[in-house]
């Protein structure tokens, strides 16, 4: 089983219940490992939300949950993520939380093998010493790890490739490389610490499975690179992505391909998010009506949900308002929300701009989606052919953008446009 980014101790929005959600998700993943009787677990970094400010109870819960794996004789192999780093890391010691859990026999900690001098033998982690450069939970199946290396990632990978070509001359039955790193092209930001799939090519013949962590959305590449996604939702911005979870991997070295990989989504608290544009609303009462209608719709949807956790609700007011946006009573919106949807918590952000202001400067904590919606609305609003069906064309454009990003064929995009036009003209 492969998981990553469990972020234990994340008190999202300052809410204790959210902290327990992350704990529940971790427990769920461990239960999956137990139920499937896996041979070993890979945890590709970011076990904790904050190694530099780790609470005793969070550490204690990790110890307790991991104990279930130990009792079942299932080793849990881990690399250190950027969130796991303890404070004072630079101060003479490399001992961190992951070491502490290895000392307590809860984890097997895989250190980067790359700093090794050429010719030096990598250290095999064993039951006696649960820290090493690689582990072999099953004879003939070596697992190597590379933790978070930030901007040095590319250089570390080059050294690792050299190390592998010199040291791994023997032919293992099945080999795994576990890494905590981002991959180019998976978010719009380009981070210096990312790897690109092409830069990994040299390792393709040496490793059968690359177990990634770091980015919180689920993705896989080439039946070779696997990123399970964070178990719980760490940011509203990722709510539209496929739900993160675990990979259950079945290996048959005689078969082609050698593995069968199944992703199981983690049952999560639901997030309900909606942006209302004040560009389309004449006064606060009309807005309250729209919100009420939306909340009733969500309540209906939630009724058929098997998840009994109350949702996290977020409502954003955006756009250039037709009236003074300060007239909106956010407390009233909160009361409506509590009465109709009864969420765990309700976040309301009024980012609407007063009439006549076309610019927006408060984009910092808007989701990308809201921002795009706002920009498109602004563009369509100023165009006589589109302004009367603003929402319609905004939605159609967002759909086309999505299709484009997913490398949709031109035909698919034409269909979306055709459908959008037919919907208006009948
Ligand atoms: Mn993470």
Continuous segment of H or E residues that includes residue 110: strand 108-110
Q: 162 CA to middle of ligand 1, Å?
A: 28
Q: What is the C-alpha separation between 166 and 170, in angstroms, rounded?
A: 10
Q: 145 CA to middle of ligand 1, Å?
A: 16
408: phi then psi, degrees, rounded to nearest 5: -65, 150
Torsion of CA 277, 282, 287, 289, to 10 degrees: -140
For residue 6, the model assigns a pLDDT of: 98
Q: Tens digits of per-residue pLDDT, 329-364?
A: 999 999 999 999 999 999 999 999 888 776 554 555
Q: 89 CA to middle of ligand 1, Å?
A: 18
Q: How far is CA 23 from CA 16, 48, 88, 281, 313, in A?
A: 11, 10, 26, 41, 21
Paired with 2 in beta bridges are 42, 247
Alpha-helical segments (H) within 94-181? 97-103, 153-167
For residue 261, the model assigns a pLDDT of: 98
Under 8 Å between Cβ of 209 and 228: no
Give me the sign of the Cα torsion angle 294, 380, 317, 216: positive
Fold classification of 2-265 is: Purple Acid Phosphatase; chain A, domain 2 (3.60.21)
Of 165, 266, 161, nearest to 216 (Cα)?
Answer: 266
CA angle 240, 245, 251 (to 5 degrees): 135
Q: What is the C-alpha separation between 153 and 58, in angstroms, rounded?
A: 29
* Residue 175 CB contacts under 8 Å (≥ 6 apart), including other chains: 141, 142, 143, 144, 168, 206, 207, 208, 209
Torsion of CA 374, 377, 379, 384, to 10 degrees: -160
Q: What is the C-alpha separation between 136 and 140, in angstroms, rounded?
A: 7
For residue 250, the model assigns a pLDDT of: 98
For residue 361, the model assigns a pLDDT of: 47
Q: What is the C-alpha separation between 338 and 295, in angstroms, rounded?
A: 10
Q: 103 CA to middle of ligand 1, Å?
A: 23
In this structure, which residues have their CB less than 5 angstroms from ion ligand 1?
5, 46
The alpha carbon of 208 is separated from its chain's Cα centroid by a whole number of angstroms, namely: 23
Q: 41 CA to middle of ligand 1, Å?
A: 17
Which tokens go with 54?
A: 């780790």
Q: 285 CA to middle of ligand 1, Å?
A: 42
Under 8 Å between Cβ of 3 and 231: yes
- E strand residue ranges, 164-311: 176-180, 209-213, 219-221, 225-227, 245-251, 259-265, 271-277
Q: What is the residue whose two structure tokens read 């609003």?
A: 381
Of 127, 128, 129, 86, nearest to 111 (Cα)?
Answer: 129
Q: For the whole prediction, is pTM greater than 0.75?
A: yes
The segments of the chain whose pLDDT lies below 70 read: 89-93, 115-119, 168-170, 188-190, 358-366, 382, 408, 426
* Residue 317 CB contacts under 8 Å (≥ 6 apart), including other chains: 275, 276, 278, 287, 325, 328, 348, 349, 350, 351, 352
Q: What is the residue whose two structure tokens read 């970094």?
A: 45
Q: 372 CA to middle of ligand 1, Å?
A: 25
Q: 418 CA to middle of ligand 1, Å?
A: 41
How do the domains of the chain map onto residue ranges? Answer: 2-265, 271-382
Q: 148 CA to middle of ligand 1, Å?
A: 10
Q: How far is CA 176 from CA 147, 173, 221, in A?
A: 14, 10, 15
Q: 183 CA to middle of ligand 1, Å?
A: 13
Q: 76 CA to middle of ligand 1, Å?
A: 18
Measured from the Cβ of residue 374, the count of other Cβ atoms closer than 10 Å reads 24
Q: 313 CA to middle of ligand 1, Å?
A: 23
Q: Tens digits of per-residue pLDDT, 72-127?
A: 999 999 999 999 988 776 555 678 999 999 999 999 999 988 766 666 788 899 88
Q: What is the C-alpha separation between 210 and 48, in angstroms, rounded?
A: 21
Residue 121 DSSP symbol: P
Paired with 122 in beta bridges are none
């Amino acid at each position: 089983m492969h998981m990553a980014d469990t972020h234990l101790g994340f008190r999202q929005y300052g809410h204790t219940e959210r902290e327990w959600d992350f704990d529940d998700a971790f427990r769920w993943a461990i239960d999956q490992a137990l139920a499937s009787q896996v041979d070993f677990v890979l945890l590709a970094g970011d076990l904790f939300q904050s190694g530099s400010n780790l609470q005793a109870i969070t550490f204690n819960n990790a110890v307790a949950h991991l104990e279930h794996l130990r009792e079942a004789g299932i080793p849990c192999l881990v690399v250190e993520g950027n969130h796991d780093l303890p404070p004072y890391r630079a101060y003479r010691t490399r001992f961190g939380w992951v070491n502490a859990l290895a000392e307590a026999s809860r984890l097997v900690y895989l250190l980067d093998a790359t700093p090794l001098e050429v010719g030096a033998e990598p250290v095999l982690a064993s039951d006696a010493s649960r820290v090493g450069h690689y582990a072999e939970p099953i004879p003939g199946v070596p697992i190597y790890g590379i933790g978070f290396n930030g901007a040095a990632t590319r250089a570390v990978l080059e050294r690792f490739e050299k190390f592998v070509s010199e040291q791994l001359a023997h032919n293992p039955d099945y080999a795994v490389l576990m890494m905590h790193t981002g991959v180019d092209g998976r978010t719009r930001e380009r981070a210096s610490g990312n790897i690109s799939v092409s830069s990994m090519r040299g390792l393709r013949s040496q490793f059968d499975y690359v177990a990634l962590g770091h980015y919180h959305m689920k993705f896989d590449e080439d039946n070779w690179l696997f990123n399970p996604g964070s178990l719980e939702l760490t940011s509203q911005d990722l709510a539209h992505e496929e739900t993160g979870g675990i990979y259950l991997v079945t290996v048959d070295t005689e078969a082609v391909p050698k593995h069968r990989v199944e992703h199981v989504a983690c049952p999560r608290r639901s997030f309900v998010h909606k942006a209302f544009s004040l560009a389309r609303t004449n006064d606060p009462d009309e807005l309250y009506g729209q919100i009420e209608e939306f909340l009733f719709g969500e309540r209906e949807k939630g009724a058929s949900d098997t998840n009994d956790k109350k949702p996290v609700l977020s409502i954003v007011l955006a756009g250039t308002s037709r009236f003074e946006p300060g007239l909106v009573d956010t407390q009233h919106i909160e009361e409506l929300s509590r009465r109709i949807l009864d969420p765990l918590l309700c976040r309301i952000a009024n980012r609407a701009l007063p009439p006549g202001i076309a610019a927006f400067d408060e984009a910092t904590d808007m989701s990308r989606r809201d921002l795009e919606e706002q920009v498109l609305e602004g563009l369509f609003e100023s165009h006589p052919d589109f302004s009367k069906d603003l929402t319609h064309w905004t939605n159609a454009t967002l759909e086309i953008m999505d299709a484009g990003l997913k490398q949709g064929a031109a035909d698919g995009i034409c269909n979306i446009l055709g459908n959008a036009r037919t919907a208006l003209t009948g």
